[in-house]
Amino acid sequence: MARAIRVNDRTNLTSGIARLGQRMRRQGTVAEQAHDGDTLIVSAVGDIGVRLLGIDTAEVSFRFPGTTQFVGIEDDRWKPFLADPFAKTWPKFTEELPAELVESLKGRLRENAAENHHRHARAAEVALEREIISDMKVMQKTDESFQMFMVFGYEIMDIYGRFLCFINRNQPNRNKPAPRPLSYNERLLKLGQASPYFIWPNVNPWRKEDSILKAVPDPKGMKRQILLSKSLGRVRRDVAASRAAHHGIFHATDPLQLEPFELRFLSRRQRPSRWVIDLTADDGVLLRPENYYRVPNSEDRLFVSPEHVPLFVERGWKREAAG
């Protein structure tokens, strides 16, 4: 079935298809589903993509540099690109990357970078499938009857028309038929199959605030706020434990060479755009996007989109100077 919500790459327009919603297990009428002059109850016509918040897994496919075509990472075209994305044979960056960032990337990339990325992408995909299949068995559901529960972040949808959420098996009773497990987002992090990708304000404790202004942390109390967040603290400890045990992307001899967001900005031939807060510091500084690598562990980074930076500055945060 086609996607209910889709994005037109040419016009950058997100659109969708819907029908009148259900009413008492039947198709509703216009009179029933026109709630008032500016509200309709509808059902989506087609499937809806979901992007798991707080995590980033290796890409199965992405737009190949210089094209609009999505190409599987297993395709041979990726091998020379990911082995050396800075070679003069590739399209120029819209703005050159700083030499220090280039050196950081080159220091991790090997000739087999494409094969490495594809391997970890497949491992993450298989891990998610296994978790869902396991939940189906626990809940005694089939492909048709199994349901999932979604909790959204502050931002509901991304630029690709996918819902942004934390997702888990739908289990109204916390303890029956078995104790409710962590969300799929958190399970993949604990398994070492995903990189943390914390984007403010879509993760705890900030997504619980009732307004985006209240969600801006105090620059002088950031570390305390992090320590008081049980869920964020647990996730960060789980990731650190996976790294110490060399699970998944932290494999001792075959770690993921290129973080997923790095593959994306390299392929787009653009600089990274999100500013970064070091969760281990308490200095009230927003690191420049191109300096994310100075926070070596991904669970210690909090990304801030450029459109939100003025809110932080108003609260007293300082932008790192260029240079």
Q: How far apart are CA 292 and CA 278, in angstroms?
A: 9
Distance CA 288, CA 140 (A): 49
State the DSSP code for 299: G
Task: Measure the N-to-C terminal CA separation of the chain; round to a whole number of Å.
Answer: 50
> How many angstroms from the chain centroid is the CA of residue 19?
30
Q: Can you tell me the distance from the alpha carbon of 236 to that of 280, in angstroms, rounded to the nearest whole number?
A: 11
DSSP state of 313: H
Question: What pLDDT, on the 0 to 100 scale, is given for residue 209?
Answer: 87
- Using CA atoms, how far apart are residues 220 and 90, in angstroms rounded to an integer? 44
- For the chain, the average pLDDT equals 94
The architecture CATH gives domain 52-319: Beta Barrel (2.40)
Write out pLDDT tens, residues 119-133.
999 999 999 999 999
So what's the pLDDT on residue 273?
97
Place of tokens 């500055």: 313
* 36 φ/ψ angles, rounded to the nearest 5 degrees: -155, -165
Pairing of strands 13-16, 5-8: antiparallel
Give the per-residue pLDDT at 1.
64
CB 51 within 8 A of CB 261: no
Q: How far is CA 176 from the centre of its chain?
A: 30
- Where in the chain do CATH 2.40.50.90 domains reside? 52-319
pLDDT of residue 216: 95
Q: Identify the residue whose tokens are 């992307």.
A: 249
DSSP string, 125-176: HHHHHHHHHHHHHHHT--TTT--EEEEEEEEEE-TTS-EEEEEEE--SSTTS
pLDDT of residue 315: 95
What is the C-alpha separation between 312 and 284, in angstroms, rounded? 9
* Nearest Cα residue to 168 out of 134, 208, 197: 134
Helix, strand, or coil here: 88? coil
In this structure, which amino acid lies at residue 86? F
Question: Given a cut of 80, is residue 220 above it in pLDDT?
Answer: yes
Which of 9, 18, 26 is CA-nearest to residue 45? 18
What angle do the packed helices 184-191 and 113-139 form, to 10 degrees? 130
Residue pLDDT, tens place only, 82-111: 999 999 999 999 999 999 999 999 999 999
Distance CA 315, CA 85 (A): 38
Tens of pLDDT, residues 64-74: 999 989 999 99
CB 286 within 8 A of CB 320: yes
Write the pLDDT tens digit of every residue in 306-320: 999 999 999 999 999
- Pairing state of beta strands 301-304 and 5-8? unpaired
Question: Residue range 268-277: average pLDDT?
Answer: 97
- At residue 14, the pLDDT reads 86
Q: What is the mean pLDDT of residues 178-196?
A: 97
Collect all residues with Cβ–Cβ distance below 8 Å to 135 and sequence separation of at least 6.
146, 169, 181
pLDDT at 323 over 90: no
pLDDT(2) > 80 = no
pLDDT at residue number 36: 86
Torsion on CA atoms 206, 151, 230, 306, rounded to nearest 10: -30
